[in-house]
Chains A and B, each alone.
Chain A
Amino acid sequence: MVGDVEHAFSYRDPSVVARRARLKLACNLVSLALAAALIHWLQRNLGDYPLRILNLAAINVILAVSLNLIYGFTGMFSLGHAGFMAMGAYVAALLTLPQATKDVIFLMAPLAWPFNVLSAPPLVAVIAGGLVAGVAAFLIGLPVLRLRGDYLGIATLGFAEIIRVVANNIPSVTNGALGLKGIPGFANNLWWTWGWAAFTVWFISRLVSSAHGKAFLAIREDEVAAEIMGVRVTYHKTVSFVTGAVFAGIGGALLGSLTSTIDPKTFGFMLTFNILIIVVAGGLGSITGSIVTALLYTVLLEALRPIEAGWRLGPLVVPEIPGLRMVVFSLVLLVIILFYQRGLFGGREFSWDWLVNRLERRARATTRGETPSALRARQPEPYRPSTRADTRDKSMSHGMGQAASGQGGTNDDRDALTDEAGRDASGQQSKLT
């Protein structure tokens, strides 16, 4: 990842490769431990409101990373996320609602079998929600994934809307437009939401750096060419679509628990657009971008609240204007899109390389008999962002915090790829949109 000749050469040495892998593992473990400590501390010390925002941010991470898998990595323009979220949310809610609540809220029609007798612990319910969404995605995908480009987007948007309208019209399962109330708030807990977010990031980053991931990228770049090269296009598209949908369902299940109320209106196409905005603003094909942008997005939406509450700046008195927040927000969004046309991260990923490189350089210098002080004398700044790649690595190390924890596993594979191809894997990605 760094254009340092001496360094690139040492990549081929197995012992160096192994040492770098060990270093990265150590980095991952340390950051995981730090993230766990941070979550522990935040869970104890934050009030309800900030906790809720952080939980929501984690859910947005899950949703954005899963949509990024479908659109950013596999190139399938899917606008069906809200539909899959709805399926996950309803299934999980129906499985976790206490019997007493079920008896009270179903006014229009009694709850149908099997949900009137089934109930499950939260973890099982969330997984079931994800699996049901996955099955739905499989069934929808069978006919629809043949479509391409904008047409695929429209068809998946259509399915999401159909799911929503159906939810509105089958009161014996969904309670119709009244929705479900009093869903147990198990997801109102950082361990739950960020745990699922970490699992999502880990799973999807493993997936995209596996052989499957290479097939996804091939399909994204050119479906016909990929097929000719022997990539099983239909199979891989289905895998990507269904995996994304499973995590969308999980995200929906957690969202339902966090908000404690769901109704069909929650899952309109604007919800999908919000997630799409996060994915594109973060950079297509960048998991790091999705994570950081999901956090920024959630926090920004809340941080803008004071401006509509009415404020004064010297002689200027601004009265309370409800809705002004969203006006400012959409302007911010437009500005970001106009100035970062490839998203904030433009397909690049966070990696530990900058840190490992620095440690390695120091280690090599020491074995050559140079003392750390002599090294410093030779290199006034041990880490100087001289190349573009370096600058990027450094800037990405900011603000990652806990979000980075699930990431590191992918880097080894990616390094191997870099070595083989003799070029910068992430740079390669950023060109291709």
Chain B
Amino acid sequence: MTWVVFLQNVANGLSLGSLYALVAIGYTMVYGILRLINFAHGDIFMLGAYALFYLVLVFTLPWWVSFAAAIVITAIMGVLVERAAYRPLRNAPRISALISAIGVSFFLENVGLVVFGGRPKPFAVPQFFTQDHSIGAVRVMNLTWVIPLLSMVLLLGLTYLVYRTKAGLAMRAISYDMETSRLMAIDVNKTISLTFAVGSALAAAGGIMWALKYPQINPLMGIIPGLKAFIAAVLGGIGSIPGAMLGGFLLGIMEIMLVAFLPALSGFRDAFAFLVLIVILLVKPSGLMGQEVKEKV
């Protein structure tokens, strides 16, 4: 393998990894606060891509405007999902909320199949993204650097939000202790809504960039990326935001490298992600950057 091919694979791994990281953030933030595996997150990802698709197709808005609008619409969808399906179960057994998440996932997928149709739709990719430049011997498509760059910007923005603003402080307080936060006059419901909005917005950005990378969308497109991003979140230690980013990049790069170095095993790609996860969980039961939970009787 030449250096050129290797670097190309690294770039590929980074762009896939940054998408996983974006989606993994949503899983990890919700888990950190509600201890809920939000299985509907992958479908929120799908909604983001469809929102952009219809905004461009029906309203013929300029691409960047549609991009922003699609993110906002998806964020609102995420908040609505929380309102309707998770908030009533806040004090129910945890498994009920999980089943509710699975139900929402079923619901979104099937509504997608009814409303959008089951046939995959071609996703219009603006010309800017497909243009390529040659840097030395390497030909790089604009998309290859736009995806990691945009993801980095979004992830930095998120880090600022969570660690440098009052709203972020409220999120962290709630994930530490919901009851005490309420006593400290933190509006728990509002903060949870905000968490869902932020997580869904990032998922939408991820979904749109995913659709740019693999320009075909269908209502079930969120299942596999959602699952992978979830693996990434657990890998990094679910509940930890830096962990989700680390897990996302790690998983993306490892997956691409597996296919690059051992093409014979490319069929096992999906299993590989889980294998890595299981091995890491056995060594570090709460993920790479997760907190150890001591158990008391």
Residues of A at the B interface (CB closer than 8 Å) are 143-144, 146-148, 150-151, 153-155, 157-159, 161-162, 165-166, 168-169, 222-225, 228, 269, 273, 276-277, 280-281, 284, 321-324, 326-327, 329-331, 333-334, 337-338, 341-342, 433
Chain A residues with CB under 8 Å of B271's CB are 161-162, 165-166
Q: Chain B's nearest CB lies how many Å from the CB of A313?
A: 19
Q: Chain A's nearest CB lies how many Å from the CB of B47?
A: 15
- CB contact between B234 and one of A154, A224, A277, A284 (< 8 Å): that residue: A154
Q: Are A341 and B85 in contact (CB under 8 A)?
A: no
| 9 further interface pairs, Cβ-Cβ under 8 Å (given A166-B268, A224-B295, A323-B118) | A147-B282, A158-B231, A159-B274, A280-B96, A284-B95, A324-B114, A334-B85, A334-B104, A341-B89
Q: Which residue of B lies closest to A144 (CB)?
A: B278
Q: Chain B's nearest CB lies how many Å from the CB of A219?
A: 13
Q: Chain A's nearest CB lies how many Å from the CB of B14?
A: 24
4 nearest interchain CB pairs? Answer: A158-B274, A165-B271, A330-B106, A341-B92
Q: Chain B's nearest CB lies how many Å from the CB of A86?
A: 13
Q: Chain A's nearest CB lies how many Å from the CB of B108?
A: 9
Taking A228-B297, A331-B107, A341-B89 as contacts, is the C-beta distance between A277 and B102 under 8 angstroms? yes
The reply on B141 being an interface residue by CB < 8 A is no
The reply on B103 being an interface residue by CB < 8 A is yes
- Chain A interface SS verdict (over half): helix
Q: Which residue of A lies closest to B267 (CB)?
A: A169
Over the window 86-108 of chain B, the binary record of Cβ atoms lying under 8 Å from chain A Cβ atoms (1 yes, 0 no) is 00110011011001101110110
Chain A residues with CB under 8 Å of B100's CB are 334, 337-338
Chain A residues with CB under 8 Å of B109's CB are 326
Q: Which residue of B lies closest to A327 (CB)?
A: B110
Chain B residues with CB under 8 Å of A322's CB are 113-114, 118
Q: Are B96 and A337 in contact (CB under 8 A)?
A: yes
| C-alpha spacing A341/B96, complex, angstroms | 6
Q: Which residue of A lies closest to B238 (CB)?
A: A150
Chain A residues with CB under 8 Å of B118's CB are 322-323
In the complex, chain B residues 239-297 whose Cβ is within 8 Å of any chain A Cβ: 267-268, 270-271, 274-275, 277-278, 281-282, 285-286, 295-297
Chain B residues with CB under 8 Å of A168's CB are 267
Taking A280-B95, A280-B99, A341-B93 as contacts, is the C-beta distance between A154 and B110 under 8 angstroms? no
The reply on B37 being an interface residue by CB < 8 A is yes
Chain A residues with CB under 8 Å of B156's CB are none
- Write 11 A-B pairs (CB below 8 A) sorted by A numbering: A158-B275, A158-B277, A161-B227, A165-B270, A165-B271, A280-B95, A326-B109, A327-B114, A331-B107, A338-B88, A341-B93
| C-alpha spacing A169/B262, complex, angstroms | 15
The reply on B68 being an interface residue by CB < 8 A is no
Chain A residues with CB under 8 Å of B103's CB are 277, 330, 333-334, 337
| C-alpha spacing A155/B282, complex, angstroms | 9
| C-alpha spacing A390/B275, complex, angstroms | 50
Chain B residues with CB under 8 Å of A326's CB are 106, 109-110, 113
Chain B residues with CB under 8 Å of A159's CB are 274, 278
The reply on B5 being an interface residue by CB < 8 A is no
| Size bracket of the B interface | 35 or more
The reply on B111 being an interface residue by CB < 8 A is yes
* Residue of A147, A162, A337 with most chain B CB atoms under a 10 A cut-off: A337
Chain A residues with CB under 8 Å of B111's CB are 327
Chain A residues with CB under 8 Å of B275's CB are 158, 162
Q: Are B107 and A147 in contact (CB under 8 A)?
A: no
Q: Which residue of B lies closest to A140 (CB)?
A: B278
* Residue of B88, B102, B230 with most chain A CB atoms under a 10 A cut-off: B102
Chain B residues with CB under 8 Å of A324's CB are 114
Chain B residues with CB under 8 Å of A338's CB are 85, 88-89, 100
Chain A residues with CB under 8 Å of B113's CB are 322-323, 326
Chain A residues with CB under 8 Å of B234's CB are 151, 154
Q: Chain B's nearest CB lies how many Å from the CB of A361?
A: 37
Taking A168-B267, A327-B111, A331-B107 as contacts, is the C-beta distance between A147 and B285 under 8 angstroms? yes
Taking A277-B102, A334-B85 as contacts, is the C-beta distance between A158 and B278 under 8 angstroms? yes
Q: Are B110 and A330 in contact (CB under 8 A)?
A: yes
Chain A residues with CB under 8 Å of B278's CB are 143-144, 155, 158-159
Taking A162-B271, A321-B114, A341-B89 as contacts, is the C-beta distance between A151 and B281 under 8 angstroms? yes
Chain B residues with CB under 8 Å of A146's CB are 282, 285
Q: Chain A's nearest CB lies how many Å from the CB of B24?
A: 13
Q: Are A323 and B268 in contact (CB under 8 A)?
A: no
Chain B residues with CB under 8 Å of A330's CB are 103-104, 106-107, 110
| C-alpha spacing A326/B219, complex, angstroms | 14
- CB contact between B95 and one of A144, A333, A433 (< 8 Å): that residue: A433
Over the window 223-234 of chain B, the binary record of Cβ atoms lying under 8 Å from chain A Cβ atoms (1 yes, 0 no) is 000010011001
* Residue of B96, B111, B286 with most chain A CB atoms under a 10 A cut-off: B96
Chain A residues with CB under 8 Å of B110's CB are 323, 326-327, 329-330
Q: Which residue of A lies closest to B296 (CB)?
A: A224
- CB contact between A161 and one of B85, B102, B274 (< 8 Å): that residue: B274
Chain A residues with CB under 8 Å of B286's CB are 151
| C-alpha spacing A326/B114, complex, angstroms | 10
Q: Chain A's nearest CB lies how many Å from the CB of B180?
A: 23
Q: Chain B's nearest CB lies how many Å from the CB of A266?
A: 15
Chain B residues with CB under 8 Å of A144's CB are 278, 282
| C-alpha spacing A277/B297, complex, angstroms | 30
| C-alpha spacing A151/B227, complex, angstroms | 14
Q: Which residue of B lies closest to A280 (CB)?
A: B99
Q: Are B295 and A276 in contact (CB under 8 A)?
A: no
